[in-house]
Amino acid sequence: MKINALRLDETDNVLIALLPLLAGDISSPGVTTAEDIGAGHKFAARDIKQGEQIVKYGQVIGVATSDIATGCLVHSHNLAMGDARLGAGETTTPTLPRPARDTFMGYRRKNGRVGTRNYIGIVSTVNCSATVCRAIAEAATRTLLPKYPGIDGFAPIVHDQGCGMVNHGEGYDILVRTLGGYRDHANFGGVLLVGLGCEVNQLSAYGEMDDPEHAARYASFNIQSAAGSSSAVRKAVEILDGIAKIVSQDQRETCPASELVLGMQCGGSDGFSGLSANPALGVASDLLVAAGGTSLLSETPEIFGAEHLLIARSDAQTGARIAEMIEWWKDYAEKNNATLDNNPSPGNKRGGLTTILEKSLGAVAKSGRAPVSDAIGYAYPVRKHGLVYMDSPGYDPVSATGQVASGANIIAFTTGRGSCFGAKPAPSLKLASSSTLFARMPEDMDIDCGTVITGLQTHDELGLQIYNTLLDTASGAKTKSEDFGYGDNEFVPWKIGAVL
């Protein structure tokens, strides 16, 4: 019999349909379906009573809100989060063997950090300079890029903030920290900061480059002091010509994998994401950590309910910080008339995910088995190697923006529904949770993770493939999102606080 359903753990009381099943079909675990079941969706492995816990991955994902007969669909109509909470996780983590391949070809910067790309950034301090920044990037791409083929491109980093705010407090600090992280990013060989002149977020917030050699790669000015928009574009192109002469001479060299900072994201998750792409990415993350590198796990609302699994892999101080982040999010959600248990999106639910506990277990699978070495706030610089937790919203562009600001020089993004995403200056690999998605969106997906569902690969084999692809990408191989041109609109700093 063809494998058409899975029981993920022997203690589970639900099965996962790998293919669309019709009422009366006999699943490979031997349970006959009582109704049509969509691919990726759950159905009862036995009779389940109202109030009984629903178990998937060997963990509680919610409680039954009505009696559920064997073979019936288990979803939003009969499953809710209720008071279910997950039990304690393991407190020991395995020793991870170092992978045989542990180098890539990167750009070694003067400050010691290593880039995977060689962009020049045009960064706006305020929305008022965003249009001019885009015009600068377009003009530089048209006139300068043909002269300097050693540059990957001129990337506009624009946003909708920078004024109508106070120049202190959480929201302002996040914006300055995020823009500062991009200005100093290893994937930028040079940067031009452009302000309007009268905004709250002044250029002076970003200081001066003290080292003359480093300073030659950076410049800044305000539009109001440049005689207006068109003049600002002309002035910028003249400045960038000088910067590009320097940046275009940068060369790739052999660098240890320990210089990689991997930002891990999942978006548009479905019932397969937690079975294939996420755990396989977890294997790749473990390999990178074993090679001395860094992996960033984020999206705090999406680990809610499974945070204990990360805390159990942390030292006391790091675990306490993760717990504090969860409590902050509970309070933040309540103040904004939301609850964390309502997180699964309509697309998640159409893909078979019902509760945040279920979604969280799949999301945490991206972290692999490595111990959590640190927990940092949004867009704070990475300060330790290993698996690092960075606080962020679950909204992918906002979360990825924070990871890049923290130092991520490459992104791995798993998706089940088919999220379209790419970042600049960090290349973004897209991991499809199913072969169906990979075949349906070949222009956007880089790796087919459905092979573990069909039995063509194990999670370990697929994880090694992902790890090697990460090293290839870090060495210059283009991703699908880069081929299309994603990244000019995906810089989305977390916005907190009043707009005045």
Q: What is the mean pLDDT of residues 225-247?
A: 98
Claim to verify: residue 259 and residue 243 sit in the same structural domain: no
Claim to verify: residue 366 and residue 265 sit in the same structural domain: yes
The partner residues of 120 in beta bridges, in order of sequence, read 154, 190
Q: What is the mean pLDDT of residues 54-82?
A: 91
On whether residue 103 sits in a domain, the answer given is: no
Distance from C-alpha of 481 to C-alpha of 490, rounded to nearest angstrom: 12
What's the pLDDT at 343? 63
CA 25 vs CA 3, 4, 33, 48, 418: distances in Å: 12, 10, 6, 20, 28
Distance from C-alpha of 432 to C-alpha of 259, rounded to nearest angstrom: 26
Q: What is the mean pLDDT of residues 397-425?
A: 98
In this model, does residue 311 exceed pLDDT 50?
A: yes
Q: What is the mean pLDDT of residues 48-68?
A: 92
Claim to verify: residue 366 and residue 403 sit in the same structural domain: yes
Verify cis geometry, omega within 30 degrees of 0, for the bond prior to 393.
no
Query: Shortest CA distance to 250 belongs to which of 410, 96, 120?
Result: 120
Q: What is the pLDDT of residues 333-380, one digit of tens each?
A: 999 998 887 667 888 888 888 877 888 888 999 999 999 999 999 999
Q: State the amino acid at position 442 in one-letter form.
A: P
Residue 6's CATH number: 2.30.130.110
Query: Shortest CA distance to 345 belongs to which of 436, 267, 415?
Result: 267
Contacts of 53 (CB under 8 A, 6+ apart): 60, 62, 63, 64, 84
User: Taking a C-beta distance cutoff of 8 angstroms, is the pair 422, 416 a contact?
Assistant: no
How many structural domains comprise the chain? 3
On whether residue 216 sits in a domain, the answer given is: yes
Backbone φ and ψ for 412, nearest 5 degrees, come out as -120, 125
Claim to verify: residue 261 and residue 353 sit in the same structural domain: yes
Q: What is the mean pLDDT of residues 429-454?
A: 97
What's the pLDDT at 83? 58
Higher-confidence residue of 94 and 155: namely: 155
What's the pLDDT at 20? 94
On whether residue 498 sits in a domain, the answer given is: no
Q: What is the pLDDT of residues 25-39, one digit of tens each?
A: 999 899 999 999 999
In this model, does residue 92 exceed pLDDT 80?
A: no
Lowest mean pLDDT among 184-188, 269-273, 296-300: 269-273
Residue reference for tokens 């999206």: 299
On whether residue 99 sits in a domain, the answer given is: no
Claim to verify: residue 325 and residue 455 sit in the same structural domain: yes
Q: What is the mean pLDDT of residues 191-205?
A: 98
DSSP letter string, 56-67: ETTEEEEEESS-
What's the pLDDT at 11? 87
In this model, does residue 61 exceed pLDDT 90?
A: no
What percentage of the chain carries pLDDT values higher than 70? Answer: 96
Claim to verify: residue 370 and residue 417 sit in the same structural domain: yes
Contacts of 31 (CB under 8 A, 6+ apart): 5, 15, 43, 44, 45, 46, 70, 71
On whether residue 403 sits in a domain, the answer given is: yes
Claim to verify: residue 367 and residue 418 sit in the same structural domain: yes
Claim to verify: residue 141 and residue 52 sit in the same structural domain: no
Query: Shortest CA distance to 358 belongs to which of 2, 44, 63?
Result: 63
In this model, does residue 444 exceed pLDDT 90?
A: yes
In this model, does residue 22 exceed pLDDT 90?
A: yes
Residue 204's CATH number: 3.40.1400
User: Taking a C-beta distance cutoff of 8 angstroms, is the pair 96, 102 a contact?
Assistant: no
The mean of the pLDDT values for the chain is 94
Domain range for 163 is 119-247
User: Taking a C-beta distance cutoff of 8 angstroms, is the pair 378, 232 a contact?
Assistant: no
Claim to verify: residue 285 and residue 419 sit in the same structural domain: yes
Residue 345, classified by CB atoms within 10 Å of its CB into exposed (0-12), middle (13-18) or buried (19+), is middle
Chosen domain end from 229, 247, 265: 247
Claim to verify: residue 265 and residue 242 sit in the same structural domain: no
Q: What is the pLDDT of residues 474-500, one digit of tens each?
A: 999 999 999 999 999 999 999 999 999
Claim to verify: residue 229 and residue 374 sit in the same structural domain: no
On whether residue 495 sits in a domain, the answer given is: no
Claim to verify: residue 299 and residue 358 sit in the same structural domain: yes
Q: What is the mean pLDDT of residues 441-461?
A: 94
Residue reference for tokens 């979604």: 359
User: Taking a C-beta distance cutoff of 8 angstroms, is the pair 151, 145 a contact?
Assistant: yes
On whether residue 496 sits in a domain, the answer given is: no
On whether residue 35 sits in a domain, the answer given is: yes
What's the pLDDT at 90? 42
Higher-confidence residue of 455 and 392: namely: 392
